[in-house]
Amino acid sequence: MINVSVVGAGQTKFGRHPEYDLRELFSFAAVEAIEEAGISPTDVEAAFIGNLSADRFNNQCHIAPMMVDFAGMKGIPATKCEAACASSATALRAAILAIESGIHDVVIAAGVEKMSDQPTPSVIETLAMAADQTFEAGPGITFPGIFAVLAVAHMHKYGTTREQFASVAVKNHANAVHNPLAQYQKEITMEKALSSRMVAWPLGLFDCSPISDGAAAVVLVRTKEARKYTDAPVKIIASTQASDTMNLCDRDDLSTLGAARRASHKAYKQAKLEPQDIDFAEVHDCFTIAEIIATEDLGFFKPGQGGPAVEQGLTRIGAEKPINTSGGLKAKGHPVGATGVSQLRELYLQLRNEAGKRQVPNADVGLTHNVGGTGASCAIHIASRW
């Protein structure tokens, strides 16, 4: 059983931020989380910061000390964690383990990414470095193409349709309308989603997460101490991670992600829960097909039923299994290194009844699912109301 709780959370608005640099984005999120925890930056003992590629996006390596120094935490151990788009979920796990080990009492887990400094082709080339260079990125495939391959495999095996992909986008854009920090706070129609320009068949523009800047942070403490910081801490009751082959051609089945199945199986065991006990989830919808696969891999719906479920509205707020109440990567935005911690921030808000118009009624237990690369990494966290 995990004995770590969240006592403060912060996030910048996701989107394009030419006016701020990486350290400013980190600082906005970190200081918000620290203030919410009712502590000062000098009370934080260690920081773990997710980031995919500040070296390529912003010409800056070795970012962790720079981030903590700027945010008033000078001198503490500061470590960058990288697992592609799952970078900040692995930072979160490292922070949890640092507390569980007994070495630290107050730790910040965060993520930051500033992608929009580069033009789109260069961003896409950098993201492709998270796929296998020899078998995938080198020969020329990039992420929209890779997820298009998974989409075709799912369509072929289960009859999943482009309308079902579009249902994910329509739902997530509708949720993001109520998230003031989302990149796209605008609804879209099925017609608009289906008629958007093709990126990599069968995935069009509205099947893709956007290019984003942003940061997210949480303050973690030992659960038995958590009430000293806030009346409504959020308990982390599972933290797991699994891996898979880097290249798709070594996998038996492209309609599922093995790392997500393995990590979620372990997470349910750790939390002593079953998929039906999860009230809502933030899942890694980097492309709409990824949300459908996630809801199957997490055991919310049987294999092949994720598409019909979203089409029938079962994953809307107020329905059986609300998914991506924040707007998800699709509409909230996907500053890749910040996404995992941002997902936990949504759980923190929901479990404290602070999610406003996107609040899930009776939300007691939530789950985050953060995928790195083509699914070679996956980290799962489960959190519950105090």
Report CA 367 to chain centroid distance, whole Å. Answer: 11
User: Which residue type, as a one-letter code, is found at position 247?
Assistant: N
From the candidates 334, 369, 378, 381, give the one annotated as an active-site residue. 334
Q: Is 211 in the site for ligand COA (CB under 6 A)?
A: yes
DSSP letter string over 94-140?
HHHHHHHTTS-SEEEEEEEEE-TTS-HHHHHHHHGGGS-IIIIITTT
Q: Is 315 in the site for ligand COA (CB under 6 A)?
A: no
Is residue 85 flagged as an active site residue?
Answer: yes
Distance between CA atoms of residues 367 and 146, nearest Å: 25
Distance between CA atoms of residues 87 and 52, nearest Å: 6
Report in angstroms how near the CB of residue 94 gets to ligand COA at its nearest.
Answer: 21
What is the chain's length?
A: 386
Q: Is 294 in the site for ligand COA (CB under 6 A)?
A: no
Cβ 217 vs Cβ 23: under 8 Å: no
Q: Is 268 in the site for ligand COA (CB under 6 A)?
A: no
| Residue with smaller CB distance to ligand COA, 165 or 206 | 206
Q: Is 44 in the site for ligand COA (CB under 6 A)?
A: no
- Annotate each residue in 75-104 with x if it binds ligand COA (CB under 6 A) or - if it does not, as one string: ----------x-------------------
Report in angstroms how near the CB of residue 199 gets to ligand COA at its nearest.
Answer: 5
> Where does this chain touch ligand COA (CB under 6 A) — which range of 7-15, 92-100, 208-216, 338-346?
208-216
Q: Is 208 in the site for ligand COA (CB under 6 A)?
A: yes
- If one counts every other C-beta atom within 10 angstroms of the C-beta of residue 183, the result is 24
What sign does the CA torsion over 341, 344, 348, 349 have? positive
Is residue 334 flagged as an active site residue?
Answer: yes
Binding positions for ligand COA, 118-137, rule CB under 6 A:
120, 124, 127
Distance between CA atoms of residues 183 and 192, nearest Å: 18
| Residue with smaller CB distance to ligand COA, 193 or 281 | 193
Report CA 115 to chain centroid distance, whole Å. Answer: 16
Size of the site for ligand COA (CB under 6 A): 17
**Residues at the site binding ligand COA, with contacts judged by CB under 6 A:** 85, 120, 124, 127, 143-144, 184, 199, 205-206, 208-211, 286, 334, 336
